[in-house]
Amino acid sequence: MIFCFSGTGNSRYVARELAKTLNEQVIELQGEMLISPMSFNCDMSKEKRFIWVFPIYSWGVPPIVADFIKSAPLNIPQNNCHFMVCTCGDDIGNAHKHWRKLIISRGWYAQCAYSVTMPNTYTLMEGFDVDCKELEQEKLNNAPTRINDIANKIKLGYTSDDVVRGSWAWIKTAIIYPYFKRYCMSPRPFHATDKCTSCGKCAKACPLNNITMSDNRPLWSNKCALCLRCYHICPLHAVAYGKSTKGKGQYKELIHNA
Ligand SMILES: Cc1cc2nc3c(=O)[nH]c(=O)nc-3n(C[C@H](O)[C@H](O)[C@H](O)COP(=O)(O)O)c2cc1C
Ligand code: SF4
Ligand code: SF4
């Protein structure tokens, strides 16, 4: 069984490729099951392995995914194997250790963690933007080989983590991630600029139904994963986050891969 959360399509693509090779089913984490994980109701007792596929957010597990792992009523037998396959733009810090703690806290066995380097999507702070087209394409070209390699390692039962941690891994995950979660994940700065034509695509696409159309303008509420699907999907680049997205790019390659 593959559980997948994806904002802009990278992790969804990885999950679907893994599913084909490993003959697994994908459950996409979205909507009500993320808003109230306690309401998730699915019999997992016959599944043998669980692969968690998600993007890295500030060198940690996206809070919305962490909440699902912590509290969804999954009747998974204790001796089953769990794998993490995350996607990142650059590096994951110690996010694999963060994921392992979450899995162990449920009494499950965290076998192995992998990362796949994919195009960058984070644009909400100074100095952060999408990749240039050449780098974006290079990452997308390298992805199939990497995913195949991970699928083989999962099949063969490897137990050594194979992730890109980058420098200052401990500081990034232990110090910056909690700070980011607390102070940098507010949806309040989201707004539509004058370019908006009220097409409603951002509202329709939000995995948490956090956007409503009011007076022909999108309005953001508080239940936001900061996945940036609304920002990248807008056909007119009319979604802004305060002033920090001014002059930034969009990433569209896999966003419609739903
Ligand atoms: C809120 C946020 C935080 C991110 N933080 C990181 C990070 O710490 N390290 C990294 O390499 N990429 C980071 N990224 C980039 C994504 O992890 C990467 O582009 C991922 O493949 C997106 O997956 P998705 O398309 O499935 O949402 C971040 C993206 C977002 C939206
Ligand atoms: S997708 Fe863009 S143009 Fe369409 S409603 Fe949202 S902000 Fe406006
Ligand atoms: S409001 Fe935008 S950033 Fe927040 S969860 Fe919805 S699509 Fe993602």
pLDDT at 258 over 60: no
Ligand nearest to the CA of 208: 3
Domains of the chain: 2-182 (3.40.50.360), 190-241 (3.30.70.20)
User: What does pLDDT average to over the chain?
Assistant: 96
pLDDT (tens digit, 9 = 90+) per residue, 109-135?
A: 999 999 999 999 999 999 999 999 999
Q: How far apart are the CA of 50 and the centre of ligand 2, in A?
A: 36
Percentage of residues in the chain having pLDDT higher than 70: 99
Closest atom of ligand 1 to CA, residue 119: 19
> For tokens 């290079």, what's the residue?
138
Percent pLDDT > 90 in the chain is: 92
pTM for the model stands at 0.98
CB-CB contact of 59 with 34 (8 Å): no
Q: How far is the CA of 45 from the centre of ligand 2 (A)?
A: 42
Question: Cα separation of 29 and 35, whole Å?
Answer: 10
d(CA 207, ligand 3 centre) in Å:
7
Please name the residues in contact with 53: beta carbons below 8 A apart, sequence gap of 6 or more. Answer: 2, 3, 4, 5, 6, 11, 14, 15, 18, 85, 86, 87
